[in-house]
Structure 1
Amino acid sequence: MATSLKNLSEHSAKNIKDISEKKFGIVVSEWNDEVTESLFEGAIETLLSHGAKKENIYRKNVPGSFELTLGAQWVAAVEEIDAVICLGCVIQGETRHFDFICDAVAHGITNVGLKYNKPVIFGVLTPDTQQQAMDRAGGKHGNKGDEAAITAIKMLGF
């Protein structure tokens, strides 16, 4: 289904296990904070509604999306953390900066998960416009933060 027609907050209940004892690290980019704070709220609400305990959710901020990878690595290195959720937003601009940042972040987050053998979730929006970002951060397409949290939960049930 085309993203323009889909609510990102809709998900299947398959493979959702008890997460009441699981610990989550959420790494949030401060850049585009209007968007990333909404993504964070979506992720928190979803984790709590599926049984996570508030005291088992840890937040760390990084300056921008590029720094999500190192932030995720620091959080993933904590043995007690079961899953890491990375939340950011890189909006297309007039230069190729967007391409380099998005590529580096996607590869970096993937590599952290592989290095630590735990779920490290890519919850980074890569829209063309601020409006598209807002539509995916609690707007008409739901909240990508919800989707990132559900992905973490499902990966823990793998």
Structure 2
Amino acid sequence: MASSLKNLSEYSQKNLSDISNKRFAIVVAEWNEEVTGALLDGAIATLTKEGANDDHIVVKTVPGSFELTLGAQWMAQDPKIDAVICIGCIIQGETRHFDFISQAVATGITDVSLKYSKPVIFGVLTPDTQQQALDRAGGKHGNKGDEAAITAIKMLGF
């Protein structure tokens, strides 16, 4: 569903499990930091609101969204980590770079999740403009970081 039709920060309370003993890794891209920082803040706030202990949330940064997959793999291979949340922002530019990076990151994150049989969440924005990114990083369409955190929680309760 398009975020213009649904606020990314609103979610159902169905299938939320106790996460007080769960450990989360958040891998966040430094590129587009204004956006990814806001997404990170949303993810952390939602995890703690839903019962995660602050000391059970590990945050690691990578240079850009392309590096999210390797960062996710390094975190997913740690048996103490229950779920990994990947946060990035790839804004459409004038070249096909956007297409290659977006596809590689989506495929890579899926592959890591399947390889380690644990939730590895795609909290990556792929907007056309900076303003669209800001609208989805705590702006008028909510925060994709909130959505990514809830997705991790719900997958742990599967």
TM-score between the two structures when normalised by the length of structure 1:
0.99
The verdict on how the C-alpha distance between 1:31 and 1:6 changes in structure 2, with shifts beyond 3 A counting, is same
4+ long deviations beyond 3 Å: none
Matches of residues 6-21 of structure 1 in structure 2 within 5 Å? 6-21=6-21
Amino acid at match of 2:19: I
Amino acid at match of 1:12: S
Aligned to 2:144: 144
Aligned to 2:58: 58
Amino acid at match of 1:37: G
In structure 1, distance between residues paired with 2:28 and 2:44? 12
Secondary structure, aligned partner of 2:78: coil
Secondary structure, aligned partner of 1:7: coil
Question: What's the CA shift string for 1:52-93, capped at 9, x where partnerless?
Answer: 000000000000000000000000010000000000000000
Amino acid at match of 1:53: N
Deviation of 1:6 (Å): 1.9
In structure 1, distance between residues paired with 2:66 and 2:5? 29
Secondary structure, aligned partner of 1:123: strand
Aligned to 1:23: 23
Deviation of 1:2 (Å): 4.0
Matches of residues 1-158 of structure 1 in structure 2 within 5 Å? 2-158=2-158
In structure 2, distance between residues paired with 1:155 and 1:68? 20
Identity within the alignment, %: 75
Amino acid at match of 1:66: F
Q: Give aligned pairs, total.
A: 158
In structure 2, distance between residues paired with 1:2 and 1:83? 25
In structure 2, distance between residues paired with 1:137 and 1:3? 11
In structure 2, distance between residues paired with 1:96 and 1:36? 22
In structure 2, distance between residues paired with 1:85 and 1:6? 21
Deviation of 1:5 (Å): 2.9
In structure 2, distance between residues paired with 1:31 and 1:2? 24
Question: What's the CA shift string for 1:28-51, capped at 9, x where partnerless?
Answer: 000000000000000000000000
| RMSD, matched Cα | 0.7
Secondary structure, aligned partner of 1:84: strand
Deviation of 1:25 (Å): 0.2
